[in-house]
Every structure is written in structure tokens, then in C-alpha cells.
Amino acid sequence: MKTTLYRNLSKCFHSKNVLDMRLHAVYGKRTQYSQGVDISDLPIDDQAVLYVHWPYCSKRCTYCNFNKYISRNVDNERMTRCLMKETQTLIECSHVSRINSIFFGGGTPSLATPRTIAKVIETVTKTTWLHGNAEVTLEVNPTHLETGKLRDFRSAGVNRVSIGVQALNDSDLKLLGREHDTQDSMRCIEEARNLFPGCVSIDVIFGRPGQTLGSWISELQKILAVSDQHISLYQLTLERGTQLFKWVQNGLIELPDEDAMADMYLEAVKTLEIHGFKQYEVSNFAKNGATSDHNTAYWTI
Ligand SMILES: C[S@@+](CC[C@H](N)C(=O)[O-])C[C@H]1O[C@@H](n2cnc3c(N)ncnc32)[C@H](O)[C@@H]1O
Ligand code: SF4
């Protein structure tokens, strides 16, 4: 049976920001560990997947309450050193002898330098065993700047990308506070599919303000026309503290009701299935077996 060990070992960058790195191990017996457990008490296991959080974004999206800081002046050298140290410490303290996959998430890790990503991967390979074909995913925001870095990310050791497309509709992208438009997404997907064939995922949010089942059905067709072999569909969650939350509270905009959301979800599951995308988690769909190794280490349905 697969279980997950969640450890967030250090919060050490500078006063405002935190480093967030997690090692998820596969255990034979279900055991819950909370923060504060003495690391020496942890059972030794040989397999783990590694999540590395890049906590910076260049702009705050109106719906997002993830752990992120808005900064265009990141000290990349310092972040690289901290992430390398954190990677080494986490792996050594956890006694894992094998890392099966790495996932760079955020925040916006595609704003990191390819050198930072390369150095973290190199630290993993120096500290433990990383299979030559291990999945190494990077979340990418499809702006012009970040699309231009994809080739260098590949040289750094990334072999799979997850693109935050969110919507194929420019007015919705504006409402969500995104920095890209539909054209940017198209360019990014095309470039990514050239560089990482079969290993490109796209993230889309549904249940957006004003969205109808009819508009969602036609948007799904556009998504299918450009997508590679993996799609993640997330229902928009109204998060307290976000701009979107305030707009809805003040009656300025409305989200589709629960029944409409459910219809959109069921429609998506059905349409994707018809096009060969098998659902392997609530929000994740893959065709031709292109499931994410990293995702499946966390959850399956
Ligand atoms: C936190 S973002 C990080 C990756 C990248 N910065 C981006 O925006 O694509 C990861 C995914 O979380 C999803 N997400 C964030 N906030 C959400 C919300 N309130 N409701 C639904 N999905 C959300 C988005 O779909 C996004 O693709
Ligand atoms: S959705 Fe992504 S880009 Fe937008 S604020 Fe959240 S982490 Fe940053």
C-alpha cells in the first residue's frame, strides 16, 4: 500500500520568505508523521519523490492563495545555494537511497534560472540515486519570457513540463489576473511539444465567472486540439483573502452554481475519455499511458 510521508524540514531563507521542500516516501505501512517528529525516528525507506517549491511569482493572480511572494528581484545565487543545501539535508536526514521523480512547483518555478534547476538536480544525483529516466517536471507559466527559457530548462535536466494555460479565453485570463494571453499559451504549448514530445501537460481552470456549459464545451475542443498527452482540470476554488473572493463577496461577479460546476466537470470527463484521455485522478487525465510518475506517487483513484 502506498502512503505518503510529508516533511517540510526547513524554513530558513529570509525573514519574509520560506523554503518549502518535501520528500514523499512510499511505505508498506500507513503511518502519519506530523511536523516536530524526530527525524531519527523515521523508518528508513529506499524510495521517495521530491517536490521543490519555487516561492516567487511576478504577479498575484486574482484567485490564488498558494504560498508565493511577488518579487522581480530574486537573489538567484542565494536561492540556488539554499535549495542545494536543503536538498542535500532533506535527503541525507531522511536516509532515502533513491529518488524516483522531481517536481519543481510554485509559485512560478519557470521564473527560476535554468542554472538553479540544474544545480538542484545535480545535488540530488550527488546525494542519492536518481534513475537516468526519472521524471523531472517543471511548472511553466506561458509568458513569452518563460517560453524562451524552455530549451535551457531541458538542458538543465527537465524532461516534462506542466503549463499553466488556465483558460483559452483572453477576457477570462484578464479576470484571473494572468500575465499571458491565449496566443502566448499556443506558442508555449507548441515550443514545449517540440522540446518535450509526449511529456507536456496543461493546467486549465473551469467554473470561471460567467462560464457556461456551452462555452466550456467549445473550449474543451480547443484544448483537445492543442494538447499533448496530459491534461489537468481544476475547478475554480474561491479562496478567502483573494481578490476574486472580495469581488464575489461584494456582488461584483458571480461563479457558476454547484450544479453548473458539476455539469462542466462531468462533461469534461466524458469528452476527454472520448478523445482517449483516461482519468487517473480527480483532476488528472492522460492518454497513451502518459500519467505523471510524480502524481501517481501521491494519489490515484
Ligand atoms: C499554484 S499554480 C503554480 C503553477 C503556476 N504558477 C501557474 O500558475 O500555473 C498550480 C495550479 O494551481 C491551480 N490553482 C491555483 N489556485 C487555484 C484555485 N483557487 N482554484 C483552482 N485552481 C487553482 C492552477 O490551475 C495552477 O495551474
Ligand atoms: S496561480 Fe501561479 S502564477 Fe498565479 S499567483 Fe498562483 S502560483 Fe503565482
184-233 confidence digits (pLDDT tens) = 999 999 999 999 999 999 999 999 999 999 999 999 999 999 999 999 99
Q: Please work out whether the CB of residue 256 comes within 6 Å of at least one atom of ligand 1.
A: no
Nearest to 293 by CA among 116, 120, 99, 108: 99
Ligand 1 mutation pick, 20, 57, 62, 66, max ligand atoms within 8 A of CB: 66
Query: Helix H segments across the chain?
Result: 76-94, 114-127, 144-147, 150-156, 170-176, 182-195, 213-226, 243-249, 258-274, 293-298
> C-alpha grid cell for residue 156?
538543465
**How is domain 20-298 classified at the architecture level of CATH?**
2-Layer Sandwich (3.30)
Task: Please state the separation of Cα 279 from the chain's center in Å.
Answer: 18
* Tens-place pLDDT, residues 97-119: 899 999 999 999 999 999 999 99
Closest ligand, as measured to the CA of 203: 1
CB 257 within 8 A of CB 238: no
- Residue 40's pLDDT is what? 46
pLDDT at 25 over 60: no
Instruction: Grade residue 299 by pLDDT with cuts at 50, 70 and 90.
Output: confident
Q: 42 phi and psi, to 5 degrees?
A: -70, 140
Q: For the chain, give the percent of residues with pLDDT over 70.
A: 85
Query: Across residues 71-94, what is the average pLDDT?
Result: 94
Specify the pLDDT at position 201: 98
CB within 8 A of 228, min separation 6: which ones? 189, 192, 193, 197, 198, 199, 200, 201, 202, 290
What is the reported pLDDT for 126?
96
CA dihedral over 14, 15, 16, 22, signed as positive or negative: positive
Domain boundaries in the chain? 20-298
pLDDT band at 8 (very low <50, low <70, confident <90, very high): very low
How far is the C-alpha of 202 from the C-alpha of 166, rounded, in Å? 8
List all residues 6 or more positions away from 3 whose beta carbon is below 8 Å from its beta carbon. 26, 27, 29, 30, 31
| CB neighbour list of residue 246: distance below 8 Å, 6 or more residues apart | none
Task: Please tell me the distance between residue 176's alpha carbon and the centre of ligand 2 in angstroms.
Answer: 10
Q: Which atom of ligand 1 is nearest to the CA of 203?
A: 27
How far is the centre of ligand 2, averaged over its atoms, from the C-alpha of 54 (Å)? 11
What's at 233, amino acid-wise?
A: L
164 CB contacts (<8 Å, ≥6 apart)?
Answer: 139, 140, 141, 142, 178, 203
Give the C-alpha separation, 181 to 183, whole Å: 5
Could you tell me the three cell numbers for 210?
A: 460567467
Which residues, listed in sequence order, are joined to residue 52 by a DSSP beta bridge?
21, 104
Report which protein residue has its CA nearest ligand 2's atom 7: 107
To which residue does cell 520560506 refer?
18
Give per-residue pLDDT as tens, 44-74. Answer: 468 899 999 999 999 999 999 998 999 989 9
- Residues 129-155: pLDDT tens digits? 998 899 999 999 999 999 999 999 999
